[in-house]
Amino acid sequence: MPTYGWPVTAGLTTADLLAARADDPHPGLLFADQRYSWAEIVAAGRRRAALASELRRPGPFHIGVLLDNTPEYLFWLVASALAGAVTVGINPTRRGAQLAGDIRHVDCQLIITDGAHRRLLDGLDTGVPAERVLEVDRDRYRTLLAAQDGLARSDARIEPATPMLLMFTSGSTGAPKAVVCGQGRFAAAAGYMTGRLGLGRDDVAYNAMPMFHGNALMACWAPMLASGGTWALRDRFSASGFLPDVRRFGATFANYVGRALAYILATPERPDDADNSLRLVYGTEAADKDLAEFPRRFGCECLEGYGSSEGPIAIGKLPGTPPGALGLPTSESDVAVLDPETGSECPRVRFGPHGEIVNPEAIGELVRRDSGFVFEGYYRNPAATAERLRNGWYWSGDLTYRDEAGYFYFAGRGNDWLRVDSENFAAAPVEHILARQPGVLVVAVFPVPDAHTGDQVMAAVELEPGARFDPEAFEAFLAAQSDLGTKWSPRFVRVVARMPLTPTNKLDKKPLRAQAWECTDPVWWRPAPGEALRLVTEQDRSALREALAANGRAHLLSGAPS
């Protein structure tokens, strides 16, 4: 089986990579109309490292950063790496008790924020005293920073195992968890991604993904740090701003997560869209049709990979990867698809004459079984860490299947199982089919409770601008899909104005599952097999609730109109 390895220098740390850039005059950061050399970035990081060391107190040296993507965010990331501290990326879309709980959980000594984000903390018990919340747009901060020696160096002893980041997971399947990432792992990712993507000093890597997430840092900034290339940064993702930014910065590379490509493609097409500097985009979880359409429209290559903030499993596409497949493991590792109940390996998938999955028992959990991986765990969450490390193996929590040639396919998250009429199947293959329908921008498939037993299939669709949902056309489309399983057709279809997404543009199915048909969006349903789809009425909703209650299943429906 072909693989490609990790060009890792043993013992290398992120601090070592930064030291190599300390006198580098090459542009390292572009932001709006601002421009910083690598030497200026490292110098700015050293000043902040000196300030952090001066303000350090006993306990974990954790520095929370509550900012949009800005130069200050990057300077504090550099500062933490140089000082032996840990950058905690705080999700600015969280609110209230959830935000306070996130911050308390990770034991921050300092919080770096600005006036706009500081208001999010008002009245919250974060465990961080007010005087240790530094606002970068205030005179006090500028005074503190000016007092530091611009060439100050930390005397911290930094090793590859020294923690560098706490990265919250996306929360697409449950409460976010703080993944530990050490200096050595980050430096290894920098070396690997540089070679994997073929990036060098002349490249400009454009990032609009949030910096509190691993994709922005490990798939975009890290290879620029390793190669000495230039990082072009936008404060937050904008579909309409993507192409103008690429042209303004001269970007040759861009990263993405989730449905970002779909939203860029939904912007009005122009004849000169391919007239740009972009050579490659890289990311994860884009729909097959978007991966095909993006290169045509923008004249660049699209490269997909599978990975996570936790790090032990990486899968990427190689030439010859079948359509729809994730690809092959990116190192000599023992990665398999296992039955989560028995721990035995699932059979290889068999496809029927129309590409349908013949043996759904081929779907299981993606697991790494050798001992060569690094997983530093979830901070202060031993139960979640233990759930990932069972029997000495790394269990990803993601559903996959594998074909006879060894290629892996994504089938959904761990809670994306559906059971309809005693048949088990996963959501992602159904989503892939529904996404083919013209006019569909984003689709999510999830289970809702059947009145008697098991589940029924529900789909939420966000349509392209100007499109409308036509139930008859939808029924005709389903009938024409030869690889659609006999139990896979949605009984309910919810048409949403905007699909709920995590801050990293991944589908957030939790509110969809919780609400089911109890929502203000139009919901179409098939009252009985063979009947045509029609709009759900309030009378229908009452009847559905009563049927669930009559069978002792009302507790399975927790949603309410939103």
CATH of the domain at 327: 2.30.38.10
CA distance 444 to 472: 20
CA distance 373 to 370: 7
Burial class of 368 by CB neighbour count within 10 A (0 to 12, 13 to 18, 19+): buried
462 beta partners: 442, 496
Question: Per the domain annotation, does 483 fall within a domain?
Answer: yes
Rounded to an integer, the average pLDDT of 364-382 is 94
**In whole angstroms, what separates CA 222 from the centre of its chain?**
17
Residue that is written with structure tokens 């006019």 in the block = 439
- For residue 231, the one-letter residue type is W
Length of the chain: 562
- The answer to whether residues 394 and 439 belong to one domain is no
Question: Per the domain annotation, does 406 fall within a domain?
Answer: yes
Q: Token pair of 339, please?
A: 């039955």
Question: Per the domain annotation, does 307 fall within a domain?
Answer: no
Q: What's the whole-number average pLDDT of the chain?
A: 92
Question: Per the domain annotation, does 157 fall within a domain?
Answer: no
Phi, psi torsion values for 295, nearest 5 degrees: -60, -40
Which secondary-structure segment (H or E) carries 388? helix 382-388
More confident: 287 or 135 = 135
Question: Per the domain annotation, does 460 fall within a domain?
Answer: yes
Burial class of 39 by CB neighbour count within 10 A (0 to 12, 13 to 18, 19+): middle
Domain containing residue 493: 426-556
Residue 538 DSSP symbol: H
CA distance 377 to 375: 6
Rounded to an integer, the average pLDDT of 319-334 is 89
389 beta partners: 394
- 557 pLDDT exceeds 80? no
CA distance 269 to 391: 51
Cβ contacts of residue 11 below 8 Å, gap of 6+?
Answer: 160, 184
- 504 pLDDT exceeds 50? yes
Question: Per the domain annotation, does 396 fall within a domain?
Answer: yes
CA distance 246 to 238: 12
Among 356, 385, 414, residue at a domain's last position = 414
DSSP string, 75-121: HHHHHHHHHT-EEEE--TT--HHHHHHHHHHTT-SEEEE-HHHHGGG
Question: Per the domain annotation, does 169 fall within a domain?
Answer: no
- 231 pLDDT exceeds 60? yes
Does the predicted model carry a pTM greater than 0.75? yes
- 352 pLDDT exceeds 60? yes
Rg (CA), the chain: 24
Q: What are the pLDDT digits (tens) for 51-78? A: 999 999 999 999 999 999 999 999 999 9
Rounded to an integer, the average pLDDT of 18-37 is 98
Burial class of 143 by CB neighbour count within 10 A (0 to 12, 13 to 18, 19+): exposed
Q: What are the pLDDT digits (tens) for 9-23? A: 458 999 999 999 999
- The answer to whether residues 481 and 404 belong to one domain is no
DSSP string, 230-273: EEEE-SS--TTTHHHHHHHHT-SEEEEETTHHHHHHTSPP-TTT
- The answer to whether residues 401 and 450 belong to one domain is no
CA distance 416 to 445: 8
- The answer to whether residues 398 and 438 belong to one domain is no
Phi, psi torsion values for 343, nearest 5 degrees: 80, 0
- The answer to whether residues 355 and 325 belong to one domain is yes
CA distance 165 to 105: 14
DSSP string, 275-312: -S---EEEEE---HHHHHHHHHHHSSEEEEEE--TT-S
Taking the C-alpha atoms of 331, 336, 340 and 344 in order, what is their torsion angle to the nearest 10 degrees? Answer: -140
Q: Which of 142-151, 204-213, 410-419, 451-460 has the lowest mean pLDDT?
A: 142-151
Phi, psi torsion values for 458, nearest 5 degrees: -125, 140
- The answer to whether residues 366 and 462 belong to one domain is no
Task: Note the maximum CA span of the chain.
Answer: 76
pLDDT classification of 550: cutoffs 50, 70, 90: confident
Question: Per the domain annotation, does 509 fall within a domain?
Answer: yes
Among 354, 383, 414, residue at a domain's last position = 414
- Answer for the pair 152, 82: CB distance below 8 angstroms, yes or no: no
Q: In this structure, what CATH number is given to the domain that contains residue 536?
A: 3.30.300.30
Among 414, 443, 468, residue at a domain's last position = 414
- For residue 164, the one-letter residue type is M
CA distance 85 to 60: 8
DSSP string, 8-47: --TT--HHHHHHTTTT--SEEEEETTEEEEHHHHHHHHHH
- 187 pLDDT exceeds 70? yes
- The answer to whether residues 452 and 501 belong to one domain is yes
pLDDT classification of 354: cutoffs 50, 70, 90: confident
What pLDDT, on the 0 to 100 scale, is given for residue 559? 52
- The answer to whether residues 389 and 452 belong to one domain is no
CA distance 524 to 493: 5
CA distance 9 to 7: 7
Rounded to an integer, the average pLDDT of 187-211 is 96
What pLDDT, on the 0 to 100 scale, is given for residue 9? 46
Q: Domain total for the chain?
A: 2
CA distance 234 to 237: 7
What pLDDT, on the 0 to 100 scale, is given for residue 558? 64
- The answer to whether residues 459 and 490 belong to one domain is yes
- Answer for the pair 183, 15: CB distance below 8 angstroms, yes or no: yes
- 307 pLDDT exceeds 80? yes
Give the Cβ contact number of residue 518 at 10 Å. Answer: 18
Phi, psi torsion values for 265, nearest 5 degrees: -65, -20
- The answer to whether residues 380 and 462 belong to one domain is no
Q: Token pair of 40, please?
A: 């200026």
Give the Cβ contact number of residue 70 at 10 Å. Answer: 18
More confident: 355 or 124 = 124
- The answer to whether residues 442 and 543 belong to one domain is yes
- The answer to whether residues 328 and 444 belong to one domain is no
